[in-house]
């Protein structure tokens, strides 16, 4: 289905202020955003408008009862074109979150058409520098002007973008978290709802005050098995296999995680998706069998872990290992994303030039 999207261009583009050498992450925003509203029955008034503030009622439902979900995805400058990395997977995951949070699902055509129109208009914002990309934030939130605990009837879906560099600039030290839990059985851990991230900030801050960069979440029942690291998926490289925690209702199914597993298997490595205990990591490190730890996510892509702290003891992994396997994966991933090699898995989607609909 083709949607009519009205376009209102900004009168004062900020593209000249973009310094590719000093982008940072999440602080600079492209000129436009895509907006569409749900009126209780259908999606209506799809539009591209200048990036800017929204006017909301103090009683906006999302602000009080947390019906707010989002996605994170990226576009890359590749051989003179703009390419999206696995956008359909983000659309699918957004709707998984929407169903759990009793929100209307976004039709695939609306998601992709709005995304393509926005990126075609703002394609100059996709940085061509190595290691840089355009981070894309689709999000959906409840907009009822009503104070009462029930699913909202009305919603707004938006997409905005920001050019970014690397999320992390160095390997991370993580603290094994056993007092707080990111999620619980029957909860919302497998979704990208805003509340998951808000609740994680207090234990993360405590870990940072202790000299760590992030927390290594453990299972909420026994606190024996590792789950995620901060907002990323976790991988452990042993001498004969790579292990990543198996997905369940308390873990987010990372799209980068899935991509890394595909690449590892393509390169001939054995990948096990299973429970992985903190004790297994400690025993393998002592035996010289733990070669490296790394994490994956849309923002971070892949980053090494220096080591982890557990019960007051720090276990230095990076000093005893190497980055042979993760470097292989990262090199192949980047060659696909930046168009330096073949798109082996058909992951990239080209942003098409579209005819504008006059405002």
* Distance, CA of 342 to CA of 263 (rounded, Å): 13
The domain defined by 6-166 folds into D-amino Acid Aminotransferase; Chain A, domain 1 (3.30.470)
Which residue ranges make up each domain of the chain?
6-166, 172-322
Q: pLDDT-derived band of residue 140, with 50, 70 and 90 as boundaries?
A: very high
Instruction: Tell me what pLDDT residue 358 has.
Output: 42
pLDDT of residue 184 exceeding 80? yes
Cβ-contact 163, 127 below 8 angstroms? yes
Average pLDDT over residues 132-153: 96
Q: Is the pTM of this model over 0.85?
A: yes
Per-state percent for the chain, helix, strand, coil, to nearest 5: 25, 30, 45
The b-or-e profile of 290-329 (16+ CB within 10 A means b, else e) is bbbbbbbbbbbbbbbbbbbbbeeeebebbeebebebbeeb
Q: pLDDT-derived band of residue 23, with 50, 70 and 90 as boundaries?
A: confident
Burial of 102 (0-12, 13-18, 19+ CB in 10 A): exposed
Query: The domain 172-322 belongs to what CATH superfamily?
Result: D-amino Acid Aminotransferase, subunit A, domain 2 (3.20.10.10)
- 124: which DSSP letter? G
Percent of the chain at pLDDT exceeding 70: 99
Cα radius of gyration (the chain) = 21
Pairing of strands 155-164, 348-350: unpaired
Return mean pLDDT, the chain.
Answer: 94
By residue count, the chain amounts to 359
Pairing of strands 43-50, 32-38: antiparallel
Q: What is the tens place of the pLDDT at every residue in 79-97?
A: 999 999 999 999 999 999 9
| Torsion sign over Cα 15, 17, 23, 28 | negative
The conformational region for residue 161 under phi > 0 = left, psi -120 to 50 = alpha, else beta, is: beta
Count of CA atoms in the C-beta half-sphere (13 A) of 68: 14
Cβ-contact 214, 205 below 8 angstroms? no
Q: For the packed helices 87-100 and 255-266, what is the interaxial angle rounded to 10 degrees?
A: 140
* Distance, CA of 94 to CA of 301 (rounded, Å): 19
Instruction: Tell me what pLDDT residue 355 has.
Output: 63
Residues 6+ apart with CB under 8 A from 1: 107, 109, 110
Q: What is the tens place of the pLDDT at every residue in 243-278?
A: 999 999 999 999 999 999 999 999 999 999 999 999
Q: Is 51 helix (H, G, I), strand (E, B) or coil?
A: coil
Q: pLDDT-derived band of residue 113, with 50, 70 and 90 as boundaries?
A: very high
State residue 2 phi and psi, 5-degree precision: -95, 130
pLDDT of residue 63 exceeding 90? yes
Q: pLDDT-derived band of residue 159, with 50, 70 and 90 as boundaries?
A: very high
User: Which one is predicted more confidently, 176 or 17?
Assistant: 176
* Distance, CA of 326 to CA of 331 (rounded, Å): 8
Q: pLDDT-derived band of residue 130, with 50, 70 and 90 as boundaries?
A: confident
Whose CA is closest to 66, among 154, 193, 227, 207?
193
Residues 6+ apart with CB under 8 A from 167: 25, 297, 299, 300, 301, 303
Instruction: Tell me what pLDDT residue 22 has.
Output: 81
Q: What is the tens place of the pLDDT at every residue in 188-198?
A: 999 999 999 99
Instruction: Tell me what pLDDT residue 356 has.
Output: 46
Q: What is the tens place of the pLDDT at every residue in 278-316?
A: 999 999 999 999 999 999 999 878 999 999 999 999 999
Cβ-contact 237, 292 below 8 angstroms? yes
């Amino acid at each position: 289905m083709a949607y009519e999207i009205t376009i209102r261009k900004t009168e004062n583009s900020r593209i000249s202020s973009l310094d590719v050498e000093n982008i940072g992450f999440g602080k600079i925003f492209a000129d436009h955003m895509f907006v569409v509203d749900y009126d209780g029955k259908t999606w209506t008034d799809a539009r591209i408008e200048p990036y800017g503030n929204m006017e909301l009622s103090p009683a906006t439902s999302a602000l009080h009862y947390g019906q707010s979900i989002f996605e994170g995805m990226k576009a890359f400058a590749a051989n003179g074109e703009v390419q999206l990395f696995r956008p359909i997977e983000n659309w699918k995951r957004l709707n998984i979150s929407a169903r759990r949070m009793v929100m209307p699902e976004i039709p695939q055509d609306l998601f992709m058409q709005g995304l393509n129109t926005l990126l075609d208009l703002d394609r100059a914002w996709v940085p061509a520098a190595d290691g840089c990309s355009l981070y894309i934030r689709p999000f959906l939130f409840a907009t009822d002007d009503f104070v009462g605990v029930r699913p909202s009837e009305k919603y707004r879906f938006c997409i905005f973008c920001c050019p970014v560099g690397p999320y992390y600039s160095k390997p991370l030290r993580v603290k094994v978290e056993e007092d707080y839990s990111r999620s619980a059985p029957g909860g919302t851990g497998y979704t990208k709802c805003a509340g998951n991230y808000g609740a994680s900030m207090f234990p993360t801050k405590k870990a940072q005050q202790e000299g760590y960069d992030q927390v290594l979440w453990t299972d909420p029942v026994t606190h024996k098995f590792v789950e995620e690291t901060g907002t990323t998926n976790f991988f452990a490289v042993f001498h004969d296999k790579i292990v990543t925690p198996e997905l369940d209702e308390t873990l987010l199914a990372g799209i980068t995680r899935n991509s890394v597993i595909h690449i590892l298997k393509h390169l001939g490595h054995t990948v096990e998706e299973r429970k992985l205990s903190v004790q297994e990591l400690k025993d393998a490190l002592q035996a010289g069998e733990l070669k490296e730890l790394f994490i994956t996510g849309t923002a971070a892509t892949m980053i090494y872990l220096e080591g982890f702290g557990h019960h007051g003891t720090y276990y230095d992994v990076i000093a005893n290992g190497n980055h042979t396997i993760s470097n292989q994966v990262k090199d192949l991933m980047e060659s696909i994303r930046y168009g330096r090699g073949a798109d082996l898995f058909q992951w990239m989607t080209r942003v098409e030039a579209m005819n504008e609909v006059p405002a």
